[in-house]
Amino acid sequence: MVRYYEERFDEKKVGIIFGGKSSEHQISLQSAKSIIEAIDKNKYELVLIGIDKNGKWYLLDPNNYLRNMDNPKLIEMIPSDQRVNIVLGEHDCFFTTPDGRSLGNIDVIFPILHGSYGEDGSIQGLLRLMGKPFIGPSVLGSAVSMDKEVSKKLLSEAGLFIGKYFAYTKDRKGNIDYEKVKENLGTPVFVKPANQGSSVGISKVYEKKKFYMAVDEAFRYDNKIVIEEEIKGREIECAVLGNEDPIASLPGEVLFTDSFYSYDAKYINSGGVQLKVPAELDGDDVEKVKKEAIKAFKALQCNGVARVDFFLTKEGNLFVNEINTLPGFTKLSMYPKLWEVSGLPYKDLVNKMIALAIESHKQEQRLKKNL
């Protein structure tokens, strides 16, 4: 039996789940690595659960769990011969190895699973059924924030500005007409999978010839796509943290050399993007961004953590682009940088997120379950 999974009672046990079946698998590995390196090992015992690209769960060694760590394109989990099972007990659900050894009472789960199955409410539903506290929004907040069409409708209903768009499911693919899109949205347009993050499957299209190729590409990643107008403005991002009374960080700005904030610019080519933290904004705009970020956070039923992304036009209009309920935590990621400059260092941020997860779980446990 490996020593680092022995039960301890003087510290909290944190389960970190990462990897996953989504197209953002390797981004998840990078985020997990950053969190594992930063977390206070004197305060928390770590249990690492890696999910491979086929959806199999493994117990990993915290001292030797990733390889090719310096190459974002090649980074991968080190194979483990210890699978993880979920056992439905008489009064509780818990994690075990195939030989029946329990991983112990995990106090809180940190699901670092970007994209499908990680940010869309799937893992949140599983953990909720298991009765485990977890970091980030619950099922509803995760699901509606992930779906770009649904989130736009809710944000608009809450009085926030959003850009013009069309949404199409795969069964309506034959109805997609470039001339109609151009007439209503202008050019260029962005073609996106409705339920993906990290700019996966996104294309910026200027002409008809490449438009339908972009549609096909987006449908490779989701059964629903959105086509959005281009909003010319500064890309401003704001981090939100909290449950019933959330707070917002100072805003940051994304500056990039590509035609848009692409996957490569975010995670691979660090020279292709600059994060201006904090953003150079006057006091009124800072307060406006913070206020609108909290408003968006609440409109989409979020709790715990989220990052709200805006476009700020030269006329001073602020449009919500999207909300990330599990923002990246890599060394290039905006979310921890925003809190750092707002006075909350990375290690303290992780402590706060864990505390919020436990607080949210306790509040839910107080609710009456039976008549």
Q: Which residues are annotated as a binding site?
A: 148, 190-192, 198-199, 228-235, 309, 321-322, 324
Catalytic residue among 198, 203, 262, 360: 198
Catalytic residue among 22, 23, 24, 262: 24
Tokens for 264, please give them: 């490569």
Q: Are 181 and 190 in contact (CB under 8 A)?
A: no
Task: Note every long-range contact of 280-287, with CB atoms under 8 Å and residues 24 or more positions apart, other chains counting.
Answer: 280/253, 281/236, 281/251, 281/312, 285/251, 285/312, 285/316, 286/250, 286/251
- Other beta carbons within 10 angstroms of residue 315's beta carbon come to 6
Give the ranges where the chain is alpha helix by DSSP (H): 25-38, 122-130, 139-146, 148-157, 178-185, 208-219, 263-267, 283-299, 334-341, 346-365
3-state helix, strand, coil in the chain (%, to 5): 35, 25, 40
Q: Are 141 and 187 in contact (CB under 8 A)?
A: no
Task: Note every long-range contact of 321-324, with CB atoms under 8 Å and residues 24 or more positions apart, other chains counting.
Answer: 321/163, 321/231, 321/235, 322/145, 322/148, 322/151, 323/145, 323/151, 323/296, 323/297, 324/119, 324/145, 324/197
The rounded distance, in Å, linking the Cα atoms of 11 and 41 is 9
Q: Which sign, positive or negative, has the C-alpha torsion 159, 333, 342, 316?
A: negative
Residues annotated in a binding site for ATP? 148, 190-192, 198-199, 228-235, 321-322
Catalytic residue among 151, 249, 333, 360: 333
Q: Are 134 and 109 in contact (CB under 8 A)?
A: yes
24 in catalytic set: yes
Residues annotated in a binding site for Mg(2+)? 309, 322, 324
Q: Are 324 and 309 in contact (CB under 8 A)?
A: yes
333 in catalytic set: yes
Residues 6+ apart with CB under 8 A from 146: 119, 120, 121, 195, 197, 325
Catalytically annotated residues: 24, 198, 333
